[in-house]
Structure 1
Amino acid sequence: MVKRESHDVIIELSRSFPVVTITGPRQSGKTTLAKMAFPEKEYVSMEDPGIREYAENDPIGLLNQYPEGAILDEIQRVPDLLSYIQVIVDEKQINGFYILTGSNQFEYIKSISQSLAGRTGILKLLPFSFNEIYTNRETVVDEILYTGYYPRIFDQKIRPVHFYTSYLMTYLERDIRNIIRVHDLSLFQKFVELCAGRTGQVLNKNSLANECGISNKTIEEWLSVLEASFIIFRLRPYHNNWNKRIVKSPKLYFLDTGFVSYLLRIESAQQIKNHPLRGEIFETFIVNEFLKRRLHFGNRENIYYFRDNNNNEVDLVIDTGYGPVPVEIKSGQTINNNFFKGLDYFSRLQKKYIRAGLVIGRDVYERRSDYL
């Protein structure tokens, strides 16, 4: 069983808040993390129809069965329970009393902010990071891109194609039907697949709308659903007063390269090697690693990209307390001086010395000039 990077973080949160909320994609390991970090707490799953009915009909009765608090799994299934949790934690004034998990932030986070504002520490848990799963293994980049990082693939030795087939069906049949009214699930699936073909690219909603045959309003609604259910995220452009000519549209990224590979009909790691979107899939992997490094340790995202109207571009900008750190991501294995053009341009805009990074698609680390 892999000890997650967030293990100590949620224990720390439990010492400061009466409620700890772990949110993230379906099957990202939230329940396992909660049980490992709080083995003494009783576990209650709102996926159980009997428990869910009890929670809906007699919420106080259910919660009173756990006088020492509990892990309440998939709490978004019974959002009204949060109001009763608020009453109990206000009365008891005990930190770490309830541990909540939820896999859909569409209405869930809204309910949390209304009922438990100031009472809960929130942690977003994504699938495994590279460091969590590959610490002691020799790795092949294309294997990483093809397999993805969902825990069950590694814990239960499931073939990626089998896992993602089940994952997609569960997502469409359960989550999507519960969140929005989609009359044609096959059209929504086509939309998801078209988004997969755009991972690592600047989002063009007009193009998506034309290919799907739906309105821009529906595209935005569906993108919000994908974002709320942790399928994608939108990387916002970095901007400062020194340049008003930046591209303002976000870039679209999936939160798992294995799922992207599945949606693109890639059936082996070997196929990725020569795939026309390999660069974008590799970039998705690296951006995800930076995102996990932020979220899994309880930090704000604080990552962006930069592009202006003259096509000067930096793949990733990390906004730190010491200033922005630009990072260029290249899937090729040979360092080329052109790789540094965007970094040099961005550095000149700062008008002061800044550190910068270059990530390339190989295992050998190489330092070049002032770059990390």
Structure 2
Amino acid sequence: MFSRVIEEEFLEQLSDNPAVALLGPRQVGKTTLIKSFLDQFGKPSIYLDLESNADLIRLQDAELYLDERRESIIILDEIQRMPSLFPLMRSLIDRNRVPGRFILLGSASPDLLKNSSETLAGRIAFLELHPLLLEEVKNEISYAVHWLRGGYPAMLQAATDRSSARKMADFISSYIERDLPLLGIPGNPVNVRLLVNMLVSVHGGLLNVSQLANSLKMSVPTIQTYLDYLENAFLIRRLLPWHVNVSKRLVKTPKIYIRDSGMLHSLAGITGMEDLTGNIIVGSSWEGYVIQQVIAALPFNVKPYFYRTQDGAELDLVLVKGNNVKLAIEIKYTNSPTLSRGNSVAQQDLGNPLLLIVTPSAEDFRLKENIQVCSISTFSNYLKEAL
């Protein structure tokens, strides 16, 4: 098992909150991570899988069962399957408010788990477990393999690239046909699959919902609903534009990304590095891959955006703390990067913050006084220093 960067924060939140929810897509390693902590909790723990009939039977009288075990940490896996537990957990916590009463594991975001965010307000901390990051695996796995296969453990550690691609294809089918309907997504899974396939062609571009609706012969509200569910299931990301500079004519449309690079490649029919480097999506794939690595490593109080004006000034990522731009990032799929005039103008618009140019494997060097070139393997050093 790989060490996860979230481990320290999880244990910290558990020592300070009655409930901690660890959320993320299926098969990302949530259950494995929690089970690795059992010896560190300092008190007994009980693991309940809400997809197990045996465990559901134990919860037929959930209040009695959970109250009798108030001295144990209760781990509830796939919590989105039983939202009726949220009001009960609030009541139990209020009767005996101590840290670490409940650990909730789920495959849906807080927005989709509205019962938890509303019912347990002030009693719960939310953390997201992302697919394995390069920072977590780089001592054993190269960036190229990680980029190609993505961060889902089973796919990343498959015996061959072909096996990895097959596992991902099966995973996507299962998610669309089984998991999304369980989360409440309306409509036919065939239509959802058509949309997901279409997202490959717009990955890294500005989101045009009307264009997607026209192409798929669906209504705009239907496409918007599907996108909301895909985002709340941690499969896609809508990256918002930074538009604090009101004197500029700014793009205000979000950009859209398929979060996991391995999922993107599977949907695009890419099964090896030769396929990837020769594919038309290689540049947008690299951009999305780096963005995922950066965003997954951000502290909770730093928000990511992109910057683009109608006049062509643009930067791939702008990291904002409070209302201040702390770091700008431009992503280049080359080890001999140059900046466009639009990149330079954007940096000036933002007040000349440090601009990090992230490449596949270039040696780190200063391009100019406030422009640093680095590799995907070393960007985290500059991220920590700037934030």
Query: TM-score, structure 2 length as denominator?
Result: 0.88
Indicate the residue corresponding to 2:381 in structure 1.
none
Indicate the SS of the match to 1:71: strand
Indicate the residue corresponding to 1:32 in structure 2.
32
> Which one-letter code corresponds to 2:330 in the other structure?
E
Indicate the residue corresponding to 2:376 in structure 1.
none
Residue of structure 2 aligned with 1:75, choices 79, 85, 99: 79
| C-alpha spacing 1:82/1:195, structure 2 compared with 1 (3 Å) | same
What's the CA shift string for 1:13-64, capped at 9, x where partnerless? 0111011110111111111222223335221111102323543x32213323
Consecutive unaligned residues in structure 2, runs of 5 or more: 373-387
Q: Give me the whole-angstrom Cα distance separating, in 1, the residues matched to 2:227 and 2:62.
A: 33
Displacement after TM superposition at 1:340 (Å): 4.6
| C-alpha spacing 1:354/1:301, structure 2 compared with 1 (3 Å) | closer
Consecutive unaligned residues in structure 1, runs of 5 or more: none
What's the CA shift string for 1:149-176, capped at 9, x where partnerless? 1012345647222221221122122222
Indicate the SS of the match to 2:297: helix
Displacement after TM superposition at 1:316 (Å): 0.7
Residue of structure 2 aligned with 1:63, choices 66, 82, 86: 66
Please say if residues 182 and 188 of structure 1, whose CA atoms lie closer than 8 Å, have aligned partners that are also in contact: no
Indicate the residue corresponding to 2:314 in structure 1.
313
Residue of structure 2 aligned with 1:323, choices 322, 325, 329: 325
Indicate the residue corresponding to 2:139 in structure 1.
135
Q: Give me the whole-angstrom Cα distance separating, in 1, the residues matched to 2:365 and 2:184.
A: 48
Displacement after TM superposition at 1:334 (Å): 1.9
Q: Give me the whole-angstrom Cα distance separating, in 2, the residues matched to 1:292 and 1:268.
A: 25
Q: Give me the whole-angstrom Cα distance separating, in 2, the residues matched to 1:63 and 1:216.
A: 44
Please say if residues 52 and 77 of structure 1, whose CA atoms lie closer than 8 Å, have aligned partners that are also in contact: no
1:98 matched to 2:102: yes
Residue of structure 1 aligned with 2:45, choices 33, 41, 47: 41
Indicate the SS of the match to 2:234: coil
Please say if residues 266 and 272 of structure 1, whose CA atoms lie closer than 8 Å, have aligned partners that are also in contact: yes
| C-alpha spacing 1:127/1:301, structure 2 compared with 1 (3 Å) | farther
| C-alpha spacing 1:258/1:58, structure 2 compared with 1 (3 Å) | same
Kindly report which structure 2 residues correspond to 1:133-282, keeping only aligned pairs within 5 A, or say none.
Answer: 133-137=137-141, 139=142, 141=144, 143-154=145-156, 157=159, 159-180=163-184, 182-282=186-286
Q: Give me the whole-angstrom Cα distance separating, in 1, the residues matched to 2:158 and 2:32.
A: 14
Indicate the residue corresponding to 1:366 in structure 2.
365
Displacement after TM superposition at 1:121 (Å): 1.1
Superposed CA RMSD in Å reads: 2.0
What's the CA shift string for 1:167-189, capped at 9, x where partnerless? 11221222222234655322211
Moved more, 178-187 or 30-39: 178-187
Indicate the SS of the match to 1:122: strand
> Which one-letter code corresponds to 1:71 in the other structure?
I
Q: Give me the whole-angstrom Cα distance separating, in 2, the residues matched to 1:330 and 1:230.
A: 25
| C-alpha spacing 1:96/1:342, structure 2 compared with 1 (3 Å) | farther
> Which one-letter code corresponds to 2:335 in the other structure?
Q
Q: Give me the whole-angstrom Cα distance separating, in 2, the residues matched to 1:136 and 1:219.
A: 40
Q: Quote the sequence identity (%).
A: 27
What's the CA shift string for 1:128-162, capped at 9, x where partnerless? 1111011344x253x33221110123456472222
Displacement after TM superposition at 1:106 (Å): 6.9
Displacement after TM superposition at 1:199 (Å): 1.3
Indicate the residue corresponding to 1:123 in structure 2.
127
| C-alpha spacing 1:328/1:118, structure 2 compared with 1 (3 Å) | same
Displacement after TM superposition at 1:291 (Å): 0.8
Please say if residues 314 and 343 of structure 1, whose CA atoms lie closer than 8 Å, have aligned partners that are also in contact: yes
Displacement after TM superposition at 1:313 (Å): 1.0
Indicate the residue corresponding to 2:375 in structure 1.
none
Displacement after TM superposition at 1:115 (Å): 1.4
Displacement after TM superposition at 1:269 (Å): 1.7
Please say if residues 106 and 229 of structure 1, whose CA atoms lie closer than 8 Å, have aligned partners that are also in contact: no
Query: TM-score, structure 1 length as denominator?
Result: 0.91
Q: Give me the whole-angstrom Cα distance separating, in 2, the residues matched to 1:288 and 1:277.
A: 16
Using CA pairs under 8 Å that are at least 6 residues apart, name the structure with larger relative contact order, 1 or 2.
1
1:109 matched to 2:113: yes
Displacement after TM superposition at 1:330 (Å): 1.0
What's the CA shift string for 1:291-339, capped at 9, x where partnerless? 1102xx5x14500001111122111101135534221111123222xx2
Q: Give me the whole-angstrom Cα distance separating, in 2, the residues matched to 1:17 and 1:140.
A: 36
Indicate the residue corresponding to 1:341 in structure 2.
341
